[in-house]
Amino acid sequence: MEIFSTAANQVLVLFAFILVGYILTKTEILKVDASKDLSNVLVYVATPSILFNSCAKNINTDNIATSGMLLFAGVIVVFAGYFTATALAKPFSKNDFEKNVYTYSFTIPNLGYMGYPMVQAVFGDQALAAMVMFVFAMNVFIYIKGLPMLSSRESEGIKFVLKQPTIIALFAGIAVGLTGIKLPRILDDVTSGASALMGPIAMILTGSVLSKRPIKELISDKKTYIASVIRLVLLPLITLGIMILLKVDKNIILVAVATLAMPLGLNSVVFPEAYGGDGRLGARLALVSHAMSILTIPAVFGLLSIILL
């Protein structure tokens, strides 16, 4: 019950920030185009800080084998998830772009905007560090496969991925953790402070993006609810069952299922709109799945605590 109540409280806090972002944009206190600036703060400051801090403080030579297993598990889950998502997406639409949106949404949950702050708040810094390693393959997928799927851009290859601030911060944090380098206290204070921005700004951004669409349009499609149930309940529970049957390490199960229990990600809105595409379907999926996650995340996290902790 403690895990359930902690998760429920954290989801409600984050959802409150979604409402703040929605109201601020609707009342024009926050300008409509401010979402790009908020996104830049996340991409260049908050997310790199939380990844760097997590790796630098929790990855060392003693647990490098565990980190390797998490990386490997993440690769397996991405490959299995993508092929499963491709099959699941077919009944939802005959339109190629819409099928891509569903495929991406079933493959990649909301990692940076909700996953990192949620896992850290409920399970602690060590779980966050484990999650960072587990989702490395997902982050690569986002730029290698996800971006071309959701926009008109061609894949720019691994060099493009390695230039991303989040990937640079992740490698830098791993290097600091493994070498045991002592960083100046001011750097630790700055990155810790920047990490604290992650949850509030990400959710305000979510609310700002959603405010650009009429509520009726966002909640009227029944397929959106089915897709949200698949993302929030079906996929994490199937993963939980398979991993238990395969006797996977409990720490890997915890991180994998907690990650997959996150709502549908915002990139299905952000990428299309950034490159002249249609973000309406992504916006519908984001709103409904985030609203439903108020109930589903505490339930899944509570189940995890009963089975694993």
Q: What is the pLDDT of residue 147?
A: 83
DSSP codes, 184-226: PHHHHHHHHHHHHTHHHHHHHHHHHHHTTS-HHHHH--HHHHH
Which residues fall within 8 angstroms of residue 36, CB to CB, at 6 or more apart?
none
Count of CB atoms situated within 10 Å of the CB of 189: 10
Hey, which of 42-51, 92-101, 183-192 has the most confident mean pLDDT?
92-101
Q: What's the average model confidence in pLDDT over 12-36?
A: 83
Coil vs helix vs strand at 264: strand
Kindly list the domain boundaries of the chain, sorted by start residue.
Answer: 2-308
Contact criterion met (CB below 8 Å) for 142 and 268: no
**Pick from 7, 43, 12: which is nearest to 205 by CA?**
43
This prediction's pTM: 0.83
Which tokens go with 73? 């598990």
The pLDDT-based confidence of 215 (bands split at 50, 70, 90) is confident
The C-alpha atoms of residue 233 and residue 35 are separated, in whole angstroms, by 29
Contact between 270 and 208 (Cβ < 8 Å): no
Question: What's residue 84's pLDDT?
Answer: 95
Task: State which fold the 2-308 domain adopts.
Answer: Na+/H+ antiporter like fold (1.20.1530)
8-state DSSP, 30: S
pLDDT on residue 239: 94
Q: Supply the pLDDT for residue 1.
A: 65
| pLDDT reading at 255 higher than 90 | yes
Each residue's pLDDT tens digit, 165-192: 888 988 898 888 888 888 888 888 888 8
Contact criterion met (CB below 8 Å) for 235 and 89: no
